[in-house]
Amino acid sequence: MIDIDYSSLRPVLDVCCGGRLFYYERNTPVVTFQDIRRGTFEAGEGRTITVDPDVAGDFTNLSYEDGGEHKGFALVVFDPPHLKRAGPHSFMRAKYGVLDKDWKKEWGQGFRECFRVLRNDGVLVFKWSTSDIPMEEVLKLSPYRPLLGDQRGHTRWAIFIKHGGMRRKE
């Protein structure tokens, strides 16, 4: 169990931040960065990727309180691995990681955890690359329907809101 000082949490949570390549400011004061890995990883041809999260932990079991009315994260970022295969010492594996055989179960649990820690009306930003698995297949794993997002191309973003009207029927 990770020891977390809840009073120090920031309004944004990135549950699998990797090398923080998304960010205009990699040390922004508004994001709690989490990843299951910590370290510097060989990426071939002399390149390395450093993953240095604030919290080392699994997105299928987030160590934060439930969100709700005026409590919880305002924004959660979820960019899980999307590749079925990558060379053992490749840049893609070092940067993004790869899917294992239970990925559907784990990514579904990841979605549920992201929504659990969001405040009501909080926003989830999900990113996927459709190179190996279609977007529709992964969106089905979420307990909420996506609100909007780009619907073409390999790299896709989907925006969700934690609102009862967007929850899927059980």
Ligand X SMILES: C[S@@+](CC[C@H](N)C(=O)[O-])C[C@H]1O[C@@H](n2cnc3c(N)ncnc32)[C@H](O)[C@@H]1O
Q: Binding residues for ligand X, how many (CB under 6 A)?
A: 20
Q: Beta-carbon neighbour count of residue 48 at 10 Å?
A: 13
**84 or 167: whose CB is closer to ligand X?**
84
Residue window 65-94: x/- pattern of binding to ligand X, with contact defined by CB under 6 A: --------------xxx-------------
Contact range with ligand X by CB under 6 A, out of 38-46, 51-59, 134-142, 161-169:
51-59
Among 33, 41, 59, 160, binds ligand X (CB under 6 A): 59
| Residues sharing a CB contact under 8 Å with residue 25, sequence separation 6 or more, in sequence order | none
Residue 20 binds ligand X (CB under 6 A): yes
Residue 161 binds ligand X (CB under 6 A): no
Q: In three state form, how does the secondary structure of the chain look?
A: CCCCCHHHCCCEEECCCCCCCCCCCCCCCCEEEEECCCEEEECCCCCEEEECCCEECCCCCCCCCCCECCECEEEEEECCCCCCCCCCCCHHHHHHCCCCCCHHHHHHHHHHHHHHHEEEEEEEEEEEECCCCCHHHHHCCCCECCCEECCCCCEEEEEEECCHHHECCC
Residue 19 binds ligand X (CB under 6 A): yes
Contact range with ligand X by CB under 6 A, out of 3-11, 33-41, 85-93, 154-162:
33-41
Residue 130 binds ligand X (CB under 6 A): no
**1 or 69: whose CB is closer to ligand X?**
1
Among 31, 67, 72, 97, binds ligand X (CB under 6 A): 97
Among 13, 51, 99, 117, binds ligand X (CB under 6 A): 51
Residues that bind ligand X (CB under 6 A): 15-22, 35-37, 51, 58-60, 79-81, 96-97
